[in-house]
Chains A and B, each alone.
Chain A
Amino acid sequence: MKASEKKARDISKKAKEKQKNILESLKSHGAKIYEDLENGQFPKFSIPSRSVSNIVYDKKLRQYILGNSTALRSAKNSAQLRSFTQLMWLAFFANRLTQEKKSSTLRDVYYSSQAFAIEFDDQSESDNIIVDLEAVTSRPREDFHIFPEERSSIFGDLNIEYTIPGYEGKSMNLSNHPDGYSIGPSLTTAELVDTSAEIVIAIEKGGLFTRFVEEQVDKKFKSIIINTGGQAPRSTRTLLKRLHDEMGLPVIILTDGDVYGEHIAMVIKSGSANAAHLRELTVPDAKWVGVWATDIEKYKLPTIPMTESDIKRCYDLQKDPRYESGIWKKELEVFLRLKRKAELEAFAKYGLTNITDKYLPQKLELAKSL
């Protein structure tokens, strides 16, 4: 008991420190603006440019980052005055959320603005301002207690301890619920205590996730199973990174056999252009094990013809530096040659458990050599 109490205190202390850091950062930004106004000057600050030309792939970091170009946002510029104010309000709102340890969603933010007579035309405008705040502070919005609505889920033998208010120190094993646990703010911020798993399997589809739980993939392959629900939300990517970095677990990714599946894996591995301003979301060592285009032929999977947009996507990705070599390059070429795609469910042709019985073991074996 004593040890766990100490640990809870430690966790609480750690969380408080993080919170303090965030608040300090917001305060320093606020103080600068305050000073400008007090001196009779129009406040301004610089913000990393998020334009396409300023997003570059960093081979060393193995992820997309923002370049050096910054833009000046000034309250003097009447065209920027509105977004300046919106951003100030968001910082102010994030400050309150963080202080009061309350979480909110992107949509919450959109509606909360109205209580302060801050106008957003629509949620995409407020979402954009949230990304601005991330870019200015170089912190993900989750640090400011702002979370996306979409939830992915996790299942497996992993003990965690909550750090969120009212649950501090409370622990949980993530194999307790067969539907898996939804990856929300309390889970992303929880302390990862221990696990018997040796690998993390991220899978694109909810249906397959359920199959994997049913087939006890967690036990059979000593794994933690994560359903990314398509493109992995940032909270999921954060958690994947933490599982890799903090627990030392390798991450493998299973996707549909198409160009979008390939890219879902790539985003987990090296991030997206949209989040190039953040550094905490990538698992550069993650491995994509399938379904590859070559698997379609190898396993004689039932296929669907690629649409025009699928094909266009292939050509687009060929211009991306990350697709210049290795399996990434090779598989794109095969997709383009086949002009056909296959879903994970296609393995059902050989029986419902074929994917877990046959395909997965082969791929896990293969992953070791990747």
Chain B
Amino acid sequence: MSSIKEKFNQISPSEFFYSNRDLAGFSNPTRSLYTAVREFVENALDACDQKGILPDVHLTIKAVDPDKPDPKPYILTVKDNGPGVDAKHIPLAFGTVLYGSKFGLKQARGMFGLGATMAILYGQITTNKPVIVKSSTDAKIQNQFEILLDIQKNKPVIVKHTEKEVAKKGLSVSICLEGDYSKAGNKIRDYVYETSLITPYATITFDDPKGQKFHHPRFVKDIPPPPTIIRPHPHGIDVERIRRMIVESQFEIPTIDDIMIEKVRKDLGLSKQNLSFTAIMAKAKKKWKNLSRQVRVVIALLSFLKMDFEKLSKIRIEDLDVPNKKLHYWDFGDSQSKTVEMDPESPYYKQLTNTVQGEPLTTFLTKRFQRIGPTTAVKFAEFAGFKPEKRMGTFTNQELVNLSDSLQKFDDFMAPDSSCLAPLGEGPLEKGIKKFFNPDFVAVVQRPASAYSGFPFIVEMGIAYGGDIKTGGPHVYRYANRIPLLYDEGSDVVLKVVNDTDWGRYKVKGDPPFIIVSHICSTRIPYKTAGKENVADRQEIERELRLGLQFLSRKLAAFMSKRGQAEMAKKRANLYAKYIPMIAEFCTELAGKKKEPNYKKLLDDLEPVDVKTEINTVEEEQPIESK
């Protein structure tokens, strides 16, 4: 985490964003208002999701001066009932770009939590007003901050900080920004509406600038299990990533200062005694199993230095030269650099080299990647042409590139773990579709987890027909990690798959009233653009979408033919109702009777068929027979 931050420290991220804000979706007042809404709402939902809190999100947009024509300043406030942000993190979280809690490998709506800060920054640029953050993590005290960003230094400037007693946990973020609600309004309303469809366990309320209230109460009481953070899959890795992982796997030689010496003494149980070198080593040998890595390293160094604690406190380790088996140190007393030879046969030698050179390749693979066992690790090492016990610290740059390439090419790794994904699930999705569209027919499917380039993903889809759905379908509702995608639908992979479908084959003709809901969950959605509105046509994703849609389409076809049959039956029933009485009338006179025959029973026996009641039994292929 810290290494990422350091990498950007050279150029201020806020400075970078300031000149490149189009990248994050802040290209104009319309788009910016919509993007800001999205970022705050998604952060609120993410925060609740991760703590298993049923979200209650309240979005308010208010014009500062309602009489001014658009574009004009608006105050955008998003309030949630989530865990809140600890007061000490607030200035950094809201006053710095690239500071957040979302850098792990798991599914979340936002990737790095940048968006919110960018919205704040955009607000400051356009209106020069601070962001107002109110947060309570304990439902007792609420911290209120007014923060401005120092763009050049990428640092927060706290304008005001107060505390207040409250009764509820949660976060409220309020910014003032230039926007164009008359143009963005439709999209924002669609966004709120579509978000509540894919987040059926959330209550979302939107007070718009015109005084209208859009309230979408939750209709599912269970929150889906939160995704877990997982280790990366070898297919989704590059050289840079490996290099960082190696750094994590290595241990630096601890600085031997007074604090460290005191720690070693304490761990050896020697706090009050001064022992000779030999006595120390004997004690260490006895206690070895309970010693921490740091302490073990110090003891190993000590074994070659052959010093007691008194002497040890007067030196500084300069270098551990493993290839030449030499240990260099600086002696403060003599003010000169000294060297000792290390005996490679010593049991302590290994302790030191391990520390410097890191884990062997096989350990590195099994420990740092998901779903690699020792057998696979050895097989891979052979495939890649490395010794299994080769230590990670000894890889040259070229070797690392070879390793990275081999990791991509090796086919025997298991498919990525999907526990880091949080699909909505078939039940809630079906409920949502039923509630929003009151359809005559609905079917949902959750495809098994799959992966592209080592990133796991799950596709879930729903299809619905009739009811309150408008004609002119299919209308496609696209979601990625529970975010509705509203822009740029033309070039989206989902649209491509839908448009490739020959609906006539599935008995869907004319101007059909039907919708398709598609949700792609992944640790990394392959968006085509930085605006994150359309998904690229990755072959693996396209295939899963296609299979899902085919499955649903077949169900739809079964419904359509059943509906066709039902319509026929109804038509037939109408025909009987029309003609049988006529036949009765004519035959009565022909037969010379006075009273008409009792044909009512005949008509009553015709079972009335209501298509709507057929929804739940649509899978049974039962031809309707006339009686």
Residues of chain A at the chain B interface (Cβ within 8 Å): 26-27, 29-31, 33-35, 37-38, 40-43, 75-76, 78, 81-82, 84-85, 88-89, 91-92, 95-96, 116-118
Contact = CB atoms under 8 A, between A and B. Distances in A.
B583 A95 contact: no
A38 B575 CA distance: 19
B4 interface: no
A78 B602 contact: no
B259 interface: no
Nearest to B589: A92
Place the interface of chain B in its size category.
20 to 34
B592 A27 contact: yes
A81 B602 contact: no
A101 to B, nearest CB: 17
B591 A30 contact: yes
B564 to A, nearest CB: 14
A24 to B, nearest CB: 10
Contact of B590 (A31, A41, A82): A31
Given A27-B591, A30-B591, A78 B626 contact: yes
Contacts of A33: 583, 587, 590-591
A78 B589 contact: no
A320 to B, nearest CB: 39
Contacts of A37: 580, 583-584, 587, 597-599, 602
Interface in B528-584: 571-572, 575-576, 579-580, 582-584
A244 to B, nearest CB: 35
Most chain A CB within 10 A, of B575, B576, B591, is at: B591
B582 A27 contact: no
Given A29-B590, A40-B601, A76 B579 contact: no
A30 B590 contact: yes
Given A37-B602, A41-B602, A88 B586 contact: yes
B605 A91 contact: no
B588 interface: yes
A37 B587 CA distance: 9
A305 to B, nearest CB: 53
A75 B626 contact: no
A88 B591 contact: no
Contacts of A95: 589-590
Nearest to B600: A40
A253 to B, nearest CB: 40
B593 interface: yes
Given A27-B591, A40-B602, A91-B590, A85 B626 contact: no
A89 B590 contact: no
Interface of B: 571-572, 575-576, 579-580, 582-593, 597-599, 601-602, 605, 626-627
B590 A27 contact: yes
Nearest to A33: B587
Contact of B586 (A27, A38, A92): A92
A34 B575 contact: no
Nearest to B571: A78
A83 to B, nearest CB: 10
Given A78-B626, A81-B579, A84-B583, A38 B592 contact: no
Contacts of A92: 585-587, 589-590
21 contacts: A30-B592, A31-B587, A31-B592, A34-B591, A34-B597, A37-B580, A38-B597, A40-B598, A40-B601, A75-B579, A76-B626, A78-B626, A81-B575, A82-B579, A85-B583, A85-B586, A88-B587, A89-B582, A91-B586, A92-B586, A116-B582
Nearest to A92: B586
Nearest to B579: A85
A35 B601 CA distance: 14
A208 B627 CA distance: 61
Given A76-B627, A78-B626, 12 more contacts: A30-B586, A31-B590, A40-B605, A41-B602, A43-B587, A76-B626, A78-B576, A84-B579, A85-B582, A91-B590, A92-B590, A96-B589
Most chain A CB within 10 A, of B582, B583, B588, B598, is at: B583
B321 to A, nearest CB: 97
A92 B586 CA distance: 6
A34 B587 contact: yes
A329 B584 CA distance: 53
Contacts of B571: 78
Contacts of A78: 571-572, 575-576, 626
A117 B582 CA distance: 9
A37 B589 CA distance: 14
A89 B581 CA distance: 12
B602 A42 contact: yes
Contacts of B583: 33, 37, 43, 75, 84-85, 88
Nearest to B604: A40
Contacts of B576: 75, 78, 81
Contacts of A34: 584, 587-588, 590-591, 593, 597
Contacts of B580: 37, 75
Nearest to A78: B572
Contacts of A81: 575-576, 579
